[in-house]
């Protein structure tokens, strides 16, 4: 895999994806989005990987879509760029493995939208968040108008989007945009600990939980509960369910030793 702007590392059951274009604060250009697509595909196909961490190199997670690339786009190019971004973010959101965003610094615009396409967000005390698009004459275009309101509620989402102001990690935690905040030097270590805890549980059950939550949140409660019953039933076709319950009844635990089958 020949990547210029992303580093992909694998440690046991965990994949660590580092956006690595620090000179431009890891701004998302078409090339980086295409590389992210390739990396997600690789992780999708690698059955040894059970959890993913995404972070940024340098002082930024992602400072948004690449303004220098977007500046002179015509309508067709803008649409193409938008389709690519939405495709990649949706692929990440639907990846059947849990994804943790470890937000080390600026998490702005398309960067905040990328973080919201992940399952869990943890941040460094140095991280800054915002949707600055309206200050540039555009609306959020990689899902920000939809995912932010679902995550933090309409009031907080509208305030962030309409004002285009940045908030710090404490405020992001207060409104529920991030789950936890850590000192910068411990962020990746904490992300790996969280990823390991998740990866040690039954991977199929984690995957099916993600599917049920993501699908269910889009619909009414009765339909959502039918998704839940469906995935719950599917668990009983797995070896992990049989062996996990058997281990419990024999006063043992399978945590860390599930087969992913
Ligand atoms: N794009 C391109 N380059 C960027 C960038 C960005 N988003 N953000 C920073 N850089 C570059 C800077 O231009 C600078 O480059 P040089 O001058 O060194 O060549 C370098 O990174 C370092 O930045 P600064 O010198 O500005 O660093 P500071 O620490 O002083 O300031 C900052 C950091 C994050 C506050 C500042 O860089 C900043 O405000 N950056 C822009 C943040 C922003 O507005 N981001 C939102 C972008 S809009 C679409 C879908 C989605 C989107 C668009 C279309 N479609 C559906 C079509 C998404 C839009 C966005 O994300």
What are the residue numbers of the active site?
113, 133
How far is 105 from 115, CA to CA, in rounded Å?
12
Give the pair of three-digit tokens for residue 77: 């190019």
| pLDDT (0 to 100) of residue 86 | 93
How far is 68 from 24, CA to CA, in rounded Å?
10
Residues of CATH 3.90.226.10 domain(s) within the chain? 6-199
| pLDDT (0 to 100) of residue 172 | 98
| pLDDT (0 to 100) of residue 1 | 81
Residue to probe by mutation, ligand 1, list 27, 82, 83, 107, most atoms within 8 Å of CB: 27
Measured between alpha carbons, how far is residue 139 from residues 67, 114, 153, 212 in Å?
A: 14, 15, 18, 30
Would you say domain 203-249 falls under CATH 1.10.12.10? yes
Residues of CATH 1.10.12.10 domain(s) within the chain? 203-249
* Nearby residues of 83 by Cβ (< 8 Å), 6 or more positions away: none
Residues of the chain with pLDDT under 70: none
CA 67–ligand 1 middle distance (angstroms): 6
Q: Which atom of ligand 1 is nearest to the CA of 166?
A: 35
* Nearby residues of 250 by Cβ (< 8 Å), 6 or more positions away: none
Q: Which atom of ligand 1 is nearest to the CA of 106?
A: 34
- Model pTM? 0.96
Pocket lining: 63 vs ligand 1, CB cutoff 6 Å:
yes
CA 83–ligand 1 middle distance (angstroms): 20
Residue to probe by mutation, ligand 1, list 32, 63, 112, most atoms within 8 Å of CB: 63
- Topology (CATH level 3) of domain 6-199: 2-enoyl-CoA Hydratase; Chain A, domain 1 (3.90.226)
Q: Whose CA is nearest to atom 14 of ligand 1?
A: 24
| pLDDT (0 to 100) of residue 185 | 98
For the four alpha carbons of 112, 116, 118 and 123, in that order, the dihedral sign comes to positive
Q: What angle do CA 198, 231, 38 make, to 5 degrees?
A: 55
Q: Which atom of ligand 1 is nearest to the CA of 64?
A: 61
Q: Whose CA is nearest to atom 47 of ligand 1?
A: 64
């Amino acid at each position: 895999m020949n990547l210029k702007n992303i580093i992909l590392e694998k440690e046991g059951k965990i994949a660590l994806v580092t956006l690595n274009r620090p000179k431009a604060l890891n701004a998302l250009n078409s090339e980086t989005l295409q590389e992210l697509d390739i990396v997600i595909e690789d992780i999708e196909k690698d059955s040894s990987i059970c959890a993913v961490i995404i972070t940024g190199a340098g002082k930024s997670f992602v400072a948004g879509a690449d303004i220098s690339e977007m500046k002179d786009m015509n309508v067709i190019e803008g649409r193409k760029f938008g389709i690519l971004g939405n495709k990649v973010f949706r692929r990440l959101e639907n990846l059947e493995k849990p994804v943790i965003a470890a937000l080390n610094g600026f998490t702005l615009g398309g960067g905040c939208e990328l973080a919201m396409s992940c399952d869990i967000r943890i941040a460094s005390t140095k991280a800054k968040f915002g949707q600055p698009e309206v200050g540039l004459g555009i609306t959020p275009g990689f899902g920000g108008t939809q995912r932010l309101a679902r995550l933090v509620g309409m009031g907080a989402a509208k305030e962030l989007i309409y004002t285009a102001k940045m908030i710090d990690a404490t405020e992001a935690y207060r409104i529920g945009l991030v789950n936890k905040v850590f000192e910068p030097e411990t962020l990746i270590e904490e992300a790996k600990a969280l990823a390991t805890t998740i990866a040690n549980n039954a991977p199929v059950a984690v995957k099916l939980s993600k599917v049920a939550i993501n699908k269910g949140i889009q619909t009414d409660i009765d339909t959502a509960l039918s998704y839940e019953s469906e995935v719950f039933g599917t668990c009983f076709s797995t070896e992990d369910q049989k062996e996990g319950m058997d281990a419990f009844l024999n006063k043992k635990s399978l945590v860390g030793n599930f087969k992913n089958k």
